[in-house]
Amino acid sequence: MGSAISYAAAPPSLPPSQGNHPVGLGVVLPTKKEDKVDWMNLPCPLPFEEIQREAFMSLKPELFEGLRFDFTKGLNQKFSLSHSVFMGSMEIPSPALDIKKVPTAHYEFGANFLDPKLMLIGRVLTDGRLNARVKCDLTDNLSLKVNAQLTNEPHFSQGMFTFDYKGSDFRTQFQMGNNAFYGANYIQSVTPNLSLGSEIFWLGHQRKSGIGFAARYNTDKMVATGQVASTGVLALSYVQKVSEKVSLASDFMYNQMTRDVTASFGYDYILRQCRLRGKIDSNGVVSSFLEERLNMGVNFILSAELDHRKKDYKFGFGMTVGE
State the CATH number of the domain containing residue 263.
Answer: 2.40.160.10
At 199-225, the pLDDT tens digits run 999 998 888 999 999 999 999 999 999
Range of the domain at 164: 52-322
Total structural domains within the chain:
1
192 within a domain of the structure (yes/no):
yes
Q: Are 280 and 59 in contact (CB under 8 A)?
A: no
Q: Which residue has the higher pLDDT, 18 or 135?
A: 135
Mean pLDDT, all residues of the chain: 88
Identify the pLDDT of residue 19: 46
- What is the average pLDDT across 144-168? 93
At 83-133, the pLDDT tens digits run 999 999 888 776 666 678 888 999 999 999 999 999 999 999 998 899 999
Which residue from 263, 209, 212, 206 is spatially nearest to 233, judged by alpha carbons?
212
10 Å CB burial of residue 95 (0-12, 13-18, 19+) is exposed
Question: What's the CA angle centered on 69, arms 294 and 129, to 5 degrees?
Answer: 150
39 within a domain of the structure (yes/no):
no
Give the separation between CA 5 and CA 321, rounded to whole angstroms. Answer: 101
32 within a domain of the structure (yes/no):
no
271 within a domain of the structure (yes/no):
yes
Q: Are 115 and 134 in contact (CB under 8 A)?
A: no
Integer-rounded Cα Rg, in Å, for the chain is: 29
- Give yes or no for residue 7 having a pLDDT over 90: no
78 within a domain of the structure (yes/no):
yes
- Give yes or no for residue 11 having a pLDDT over 60: no
- Give yes or no for residue 271 having a pLDDT over 50: yes
SS (H, E, C) the chain: CCCCCCCCCCCCCCCCCCCCCCCCHHHHCCCCCCCCCCCCCCCCCCCHHHCCHHHHHHHCCCCCCEEEEEEEEECCCCEEEEEEEEEEEEEECCCCCCCEEEEEEEEEEEEEEECCCEEEEEEEECCCCEEEEEEEECCCCEEEEEEEEECCCCCCCEEEEEEEEECCCEEEEEEEECCCEEEEEEEEECCCCEEEEEEEEEECCCCEEEEEEEEEEECCCEEEEEEEECCCEEEEEEEEECCCCEEEEEEEEEECCCCEEEEEEEEEEECCCEEEEEEEECCCEEEEEEEEEEECCEEEEEEEEEECCCCEEEEEEEEEECC
Which residue from 194, 214, 207 is spatially nearest to 37, judged by alpha carbons?
194
Instruction: Grade residue 45 by pLDDT with cuts at 50, 70 and 90.
Output: very high
2 within a domain of the structure (yes/no):
no
Instruction: Grade residue 35 by pLDDT with cuts at 50, 70 and 90.
Output: low
124 within a domain of the structure (yes/no):
yes
Q: Across the strands, what pairs with 181?
A: 177, 203
223 within a domain of the structure (yes/no):
yes
Its pTM surpasses 0.75: yes
